[in-house]
């Protein structure tokens, strides 16, 4: 079976939750006998990741303007045309923005699987027109996709209530249990000490709530350093002001990191904090749990679905509560072990098999 994947910026080592999802999932689907091609947005391809294949997944680079308002639609539209030219019978589209092209793909005779990663129109960065386009993309997916995958019960409930779509397949994001790093070279280069820093991971956009975290961190008075792991994919007024706020308050900015550096900074953290206002099913949180980290997260539905203990949550946007809990939890040194629950619920090998079964329904 041949399938082409559309909607992601690309793999490997490209910033984003959908990108991390695709990088983990599709090599496993190849091992299950699926012939996979992923379309990548040319504007995200640098000299370090020019390639035609990644772990037996074929890669095709297609033009995309690096303008956040239109890049997904333009790239996805061109990718559907490419799929038709190359006679692909099946497309897997990720996220609701790219789903605007699903009716076009169906008119061309292509069957579509769509993965709904979350109602992106709730993200604070989008204006009215963009939010309307995203809602239209969600409608297109609900009405025209042959099969829909949802990554959380929250999204499944949304599809049922809003669109009366009752046949979605619940297949969550996954995580790979890591081998913890013994090295401290990278963190020492950042002037950090093991177990004496707090980390948050994500894109520098308003809905991630990093501005709240900085304010709560300063209010908490803790001695441990705060580290923000990530960056913006499109420089904005918000991302510039966030970086300025961080630098002025002695907060460590790593930029976008992957591989051994990311492994090392997770391995030696004292506390992981996720202050998000919006998530689908956060891979960064699953990654933190895979390192058995002490975690503190906002009480949004996606985070609540991971079902942590009550003390691990704070009211989203509540600076005082976050500061109080940071102060309390950063000093907790007892070990945690989340591996059993992660292996049972968020296993990429199981997720690949579940996705392969969805593909078979297209035939």
Q: Is the pLDDT of residue 119 over 70?
A: yes
For 27-39, b where at least 16 C-beta lie within 10 A, e where not — what string? Answer: bbbbeeebebbbb
Average pLDDT of every residue of the chain? 94
Residues near 307 by Cβ (< 8 Å), separated by ≥ 6?
A: none
Residue 317, pLDDT > 70, answer yes
For the chain, the residue count is 363
Question: What sections of 13-114 are H helices per DSSP?
Answer: 17-31, 71-85, 102-107
**217-261 pLDDT tens trace:** 999 999 999 999 999 877 889 999 999 999 999 999 999 998 899
Read off the pLDDT of residues 84-107 as tens digits, 9 standing for 90 and up.
999 999 999 999 999 999 999 999
Angstrom distance (rounded) from CA 98 to CA 78: 11
Which runs of E-coded beta strand occur in the chain?
A: 2-6, 35-41, 53-54, 57-62, 90-94, 111-116, 147-150, 169-170, 197-201, 225-229, 252-255, 271-274, 295-298, 313-314
The CATH number that domain 185-343 falls under is: 3.40.50.2000
> pLDDT value at position 124?
67
Of the CATH numbers 1.10.230.10, 3.40.50.2000, 3.30.70.360, 3.30.450.20, which one belongs to the domain with range 2-174+347-360?
A: 3.40.50.2000
- First-to-last alpha carbon distance for the chain, in angstroms, is 9
The residue written with tokens 């639609």 in the block is: 73
Phi, psi for 116 (deg, rounded to 5)? -90, 110
Q: What is the pLDDT of residue 222?
A: 96
Q: Work out the average pLDDT over 148-177.
A: 95
Domain with CATH 3.40.50.2000 in the chain: 2-174+347-360, 185-343
Strand duo 252-255 + 225-229: pairing: parallel
Burial of 47: CB neighbours in 10 Å, binned 0-12, 13-18, 19+:
exposed
Q: Is the pLDDT of residue 68 over 80?
A: no
With 90 as the cut, is the pLDDT of residue 42 above it? yes
pLDDT digits (tens, 9 = 90+) for 174-205: 999 999 999 999 999 999 999 999 999 999 99
What would the pLDDT profile of 322-336 be if each residue is shown by its tens digit? 999 999 999 887 767
Q: What is the pLDDT of residues 231-243, one digit of tens each?
A: 987 788 999 999 9
Amino acid 335: pLDDT: 67
Distance CA 39, CA 60 (A): 5
Query: Does the pLDDT at position 123 exceed 80?
Result: no
Task: Say yes or no to pLDDT of 3 above 90.
Answer: yes
Q: 344 Cβ partners below 8 Å, 6+ apart?
A: none
Query: Mean pLDDT throughout 23-29?
Result: 97
CB 151 within 8 A of CB 116: yes
């Amino acid at each position: 079976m041949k399938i082409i994947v559309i909607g992601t910026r690309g793999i490997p080592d490209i910033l984003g939750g959908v990108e991390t999802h695709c990088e983990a999932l599709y090599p496993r689907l190849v091992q299950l006998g699926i012939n996979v091609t992923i379309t990548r947005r040319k504007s995200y391809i640098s000299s370090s990741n020019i390639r035609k294949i990644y772990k037996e997944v074929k890669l095709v680079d297609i033009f995309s303007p690096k303008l956040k308002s239109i890049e997904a639609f333009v790239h996805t539209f061109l990718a559907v045309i490419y799929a038709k030219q190359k006679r692909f019978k099946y497309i897997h589209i990720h996220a609701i923005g790219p789903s605007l092209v699903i009716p076009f793909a169906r008119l061309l005779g292509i069957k579509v699987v769509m993965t709904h990663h979350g109602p992106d129109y709730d993200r604070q960065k989008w204006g009215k027109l963009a939010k309307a386009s995203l809602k239209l993309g969600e409608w297109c997916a609900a009405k025209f996709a042959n099969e829909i995958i949802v990554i959380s019960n929250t999204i499944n409930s949304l599809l049922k209530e809003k669109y009366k779509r009752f046949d979605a397949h619940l297949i969550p994001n996954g995580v790979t249990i890591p081998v913890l790093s013994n090295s401290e070279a990278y963190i020492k280069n950042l002037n950090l000490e093991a177990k004496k820093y707090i980390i948050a991971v994500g894109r520098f956009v308003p809905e991630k709530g990093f501005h709240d975290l900085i304010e709560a961190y300063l209010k908490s008075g803790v001695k441990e350093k705060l580290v923000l792991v990530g960056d913006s994919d499109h420089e904005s007024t918000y991302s510039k002001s966030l970086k300025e706020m961080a630098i002025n308050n002695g907060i460590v900015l790593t930029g976008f990191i992957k591989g051994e550096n990311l492994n090392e900074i997770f391995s030696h953290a004292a506390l992981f904090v996720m202050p998000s206002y919006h998530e689908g099913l956060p891979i960064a949180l699953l990654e933190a749990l895979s390192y058995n980290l002490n975690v503190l997260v906002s009480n949004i539905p996606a985070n609540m679905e991971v079902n942590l203990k009550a003390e691990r949550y704070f009211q989203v946007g509540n600076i005082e509560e976050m500061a109080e809990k940071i102060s309390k939890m950063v000093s907790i040194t007892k070990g945690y072990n989340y591996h059993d629950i992660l292996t049972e619920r968020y296993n990429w090998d199981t997720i690949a098999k579940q996705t392969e079964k969805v593909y078979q329904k297209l035939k």
